[in-house]
Chain A
């Protein structure tokens, strides 16, 4: 049972480049979320999804897009990377709205 799998683990981008952070879970969880973690800021919610085809914005959605075409996958897209998006990104999933979240191992992203 792999749980929540994030790829890549590390990435360096140049300002203006685009990329997609991948997130997949094999637990058949309906709820999935993306967070970013910055020093002293805790984990801040970027986007979340309550099921395939349904997404919504969290606290810090600007500069990011998401889609949920399947239950398993929830990719996060940076359309035009900016240095302010340098962060560690975590994907999470949970079975129902108030169950504990299972987290991936994170993606460390640097924007130069």
Chain B
């Protein structure tokens, strides 16, 4: 069965600190997709990144970077030099290719609070 675990419920940092959000997943499928979404205080869900199981290259987008390690079933998200606008709930999600008809399975989310 597929499962996504975000062990960090809440994280508080001060502006300009780096912060890493952890995501550990479980799947029996060899082909799968991992996602990160951001939910700011306004409530909408914003797509950040998709990574397939065959692409273990790390990705950097501005202050955001993602570290995908199949050996530890982890897909961690780092924000460098955090800003107050980064305050949000962040969700990691998993989709299995064999179950492509189903929707994404989400972790419970990590609430990030960045203070000035």
Contact of A58 among B44, B45, B47, B102 (CB under 8 A): B102
Contacts of B6 in A (CB 8 A): 42
- Chain A contact residues, majority secondary structure: strand
Are B103 and A48 in contact (CB-based, < 8 A)?
yes
Chain B interface, number of residues (Cβ within 8 angstroms)? 23
Are B91 and A58 in contact (CB-based, < 8 A)?
no
Contact of A50 among B9, B35, B101, B109 (CB under 8 A): B101
Are B103 and A88 in contact (CB-based, < 8 A)?
no
Bound form: Cα–Cα A30–B84 in Å: 37
Query: How many contacts between A and B, using CB within 8 angstroms?
Result: 60
Are A105 and B43 in contact (CB-based, < 8 A)?
yes
Least CB distance, B3 to chain A, in whole angstroms: 11
Bound form: Cα–Cα A90–B89 in Å: 15
Least CB distance, B90 to chain A, in whole angstroms: 11
Contact of B43 among A88, A101, A102 (CB under 8 A): A88
Contact of A42 among B52, B102, B109 (CB under 8 A): B109
Given contacts A97-B95, A98-B52, 17 further A-B contacts (CB under 8 A): A31-B101, A33-B103, A35-B103, A40-B9, A40-B108, A48-B103, A50-B101, A97-B100, A98-B50, A98-B97, A99-B50, A100-B35, A100-B47, A100-B50, A101-B35, A103-B45, A106-B43
Mark B residues whose CB is within 8 Å of A: 6, 9, 33, 35, 43-45, 47, 50, 52, 91, 95, 97, 100-109
